[in-house]
């Protein structure tokens, strides 16, 4: 497994425009929550304990994040647990509300993503490397940590690897989208 800074730098290379990053800070959490909502109606019995597919997926994702960095892994585990709890709440609502919330948040989250990549002028990272689907949520948490003055060592490594963030982009240049 590649180290944390390498994973984030690879993802960050597709996300240098500030507008794109801002839209990802909204869109990615919506997508993660949508997936947790949609997975929360499927449950399994492990012994006498019932667990949902959302709880299993969240636990596996949290383990992946812990392996990359225990500090960001703790933050991700807490956020994923909250999302699984919220997903379970929504999954216990009437079918139309559960499905509408899950699909609606998923579509809305992806709309934010693609508008962001229009500003970026570059395709989403996951189109070149599917691991980007797992690194995206970690990127959001890392960006928040950086804004709070945390993990500046990782932020410096990323900036050295892919360059500084840009406030905007000259849209007169052709887009690769």
In a domain, 36, yes or no: yes
∠ CA 30-166-168, rounded to 5°: 80
In a domain, 170, yes or no: no
| Number of domains present in the structure of the chain | 1
* Residue 175 or 156, more confident: 156
In a domain, 121, yes or no: yes
In a domain, 82, yes or no: yes
N-term to C-term CA, the chain: 30
Question: What does the pLDDT look like over 37-52, one tens digit per residue?
Answer: 999 999 988 889 999 9
DSSP characters over the chain: ---HHHHHHHHHTT--BHHHHHHHHHHHHHHHHHHHHHHTT-EEEETTEEEEHHHHHHHHHHHHHHHH-HHHHHHHHHHHHHHHHHHHHHHTS-HHHHHHHHHHHHHHHHHHHHHHHHHHTS--GGGT-TTHHHHHHHHHHHHHHHHTT--HHHHHHHHHHH---BS---TTSPP--
In a domain, 168, yes or no: no
Closest by CA position to 69, among listed 132, 128, 139, 163: 139
In a domain, 174, yes or no: no
Question: What does the pLDDT look like over 134-156, one tens digit per residue?
Answer: 999 999 999 999 999 999 999 99
pTM: 0.90
Question: What does the pLDDT look like over 81-138, one tens digit per residue?
Answer: 999 999 999 999 999 999 999 999 999 999 999 999 999 998 888 888 888 999 999 9
Q: How far apart are CA 30 and CA 18, in angstroms?
A: 19
Range of the domain at 119: 4-162
In a domain, 146, yes or no: yes
Q: Is the pLDDT of residue 170 over 60?
A: no
The confidence score (pLDDT) of residue 46 equals: 84
The confidence score (pLDDT) of residue 172 equals: 45
In a domain, 42, yes or no: yes
């Amino acid at each position: 497994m590649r180290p944390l800074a390498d994973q984030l730098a690879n993802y960050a290379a597709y996300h240098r425009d500030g507008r794109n990053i801002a839209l990802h800070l909204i869109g990615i959490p919506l997508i993660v929550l949508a997936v947790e909502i949609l997975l929360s109606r499927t449950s399994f019995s492990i012994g006498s304990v019932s667990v949902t597919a959302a709880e299993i997926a969240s636990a596996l994702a949290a383990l992946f994040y812990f392996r990359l960095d225990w500090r960001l892994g703790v933050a991700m585990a807490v956020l994923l647990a909250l999302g699984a709890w919220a997903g379970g709440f929504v999954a216990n609502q009437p079918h139309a509300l559960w499905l509408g919330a899950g699909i609606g948040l998923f579509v809305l989250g992806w709309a934010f993503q693609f508008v962001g990549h229009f500003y970026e002028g570059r395709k989403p990272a996951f189109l070149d490397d599917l691991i980007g689907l797992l690194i995206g949520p970690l990127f959001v948490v890392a960006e928040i940590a950086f804004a709070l003055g945390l993990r500046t060592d990782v932020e410096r490594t990323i900036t050295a690897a892919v360059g500084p963030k840009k406030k905007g982009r000259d849209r007169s240049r052709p887009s690769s989208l």
